[in-house]
Amino acid sequence: MLSSPGRQQRRVVVTGLGAVTPAGWGVKAFAQAILSGRTTIGGFTRFDHVAQRTHIAGEVPPEPPTLRRVRGWHRLSNTDRFAVGSALEASQQAGLAWPLADADAAVFFASSTGGLLETERFVHALFDPGVATATRGLLASYSLSSPAEAIARRLGVTAAVETVSSACAASALAIEQALRAIRRGEVEVAFTGGSDCLCVTTYAGFNALRAVDEHPCRPFRADRAGLSLGEGAAVLVLESLDHAVARGAAPLAELMGAGASCDASHMTAPNPDGYWAAEAMRRALADAGLDSSAIDFLNAHGTATPLNDAAEAAAIGLVFGDRAHAVPVEATKGVVGHLLGAAGAVEAVATIVSLRAGTLHPTPESGPVDDALGVDLVLGRPRTSSTLRTAMSANLGFGGANAALVLRRWSEESES
Partner 1 sequence: MSDRLERVVVTGVGVVVGACCGIDALATALHASSSLAAGVESRSPYHGEGSATQGVLSIGVDLSPWVPAATGRRMGRPSRFAAAAARMAVLDAGGAAVDDPTSTVVMATAYGAIEATEHLLRVERREGPAMVSPFGFTESVANAAAAHIAIATGAHGPNLTIVQREAGALTAVGRGALEVASRRSRCALVGCAEEMPPILHAFLDRFNALARGTATMTEAARPFDRRRNGFIAAEGAVVLVLESEREARARGARIRAVIRGFASAFDPTAGRLGWGRGHVALGGALTRLLERTSTDRSRVSRVVSGASGSIAGDRLEAHVLHEVWRGSTLPPILAPKGHTGEYGGGFLAAAVLGATQPNAGPTVGFDEVDPDLDVTPHGGGELPASDVTLVTSLAAGGAASWLLLEAV
Q: Is 262 a catalytic residue?
A: no
Q: Supply the minimum distance, in Å, between the C-beta of residue 381 and partner 1.
A: 36
Burial 243-257 (b: 16+ CB within 10 A, else e): bbeeeebebbbbbbb
Which of the residues 126 through 165 are near partner 1 (CB under 8 A)?
126-128, 136, 139-146, 149-150, 152-153, 156-165
Alpha helices in 128-240 (DSSP H): 146-155, 170-184, 200-208
Write out the DSSP string of 231-253: -EEEEEEEEEHHHHHHTT---SE
Q: Residue 85's closest CA among 163, 166, 14, 30?
A: 30
Residue nearer to partner 1 on the CB measure, 106 or 310 = 106
Q: Is 301 a catalytic residue?
A: yes
Among 49, 217, 243, 338, the active-site one is 338
Judged by CB under 8 A, which stretch of 19-27, 50-58, 240-248, 298-306 contacts partner 1?
50-58
Among 49, 197, 199, 301, the active-site one is 301
Q: How far apart are CA 238 and CA 192, in angstroms?
A: 7
Q: Supply the minimum distance, in Å, between the C-beta of residue 207 and partner 1.
A: 6
**Which residue type, as a one-letter code, is found at position 91?**
S
* 8 A C-beta contact, residue 360 and residue 354: yes
Q: Is 49 a catalytic residue?
A: no
Q: How far apart are CA 103 and CA 83, in angstroms?
A: 21
Rule CB under 8 A: say whether 84 interacts with partner 1. Answer: no
The residues pairing with 359 across neighbouring beta strands, listed in sequence order, are: 384
Among 67, 70, 132, 204, contact with partner 1 (rule: CB under 8 A): 204
Rule CB under 8 A: say whether 45 interacts with partner 1. Answer: no
Alpha helices in 15-95 (DSSP H): 27-36, 65-68, 78-94
Rule CB under 8 A: say whether 307 interacts with partner 1. Answer: no
Rule CB under 8 A: say whether 279 interacts with partner 1. Answer: yes
Residue nearer to partner 1 on the CB measure, 157 or 350 = 157
Rule CB under 8 A: say whether 102 interacts with partner 1. Answer: yes
Q: Supply the minimum distance, in Å, between the C-beta of residue 308 and partner 1.
A: 14
Residue nearer to partner 1 on the CB measure, 44 or 276 = 276
Q: How far apart are CA 177 and CA 222, in angstroms?
A: 36
Rule CB under 8 A: say whether 215 interacts with partner 1. Answer: no
Q: Per-residue string for binding with partner 1, 103-132, x by CB under 8 A?
A: x--xx---xx-x-x---x--xx-xxx----
Residues serving a catalytic function are 168, 301, 338
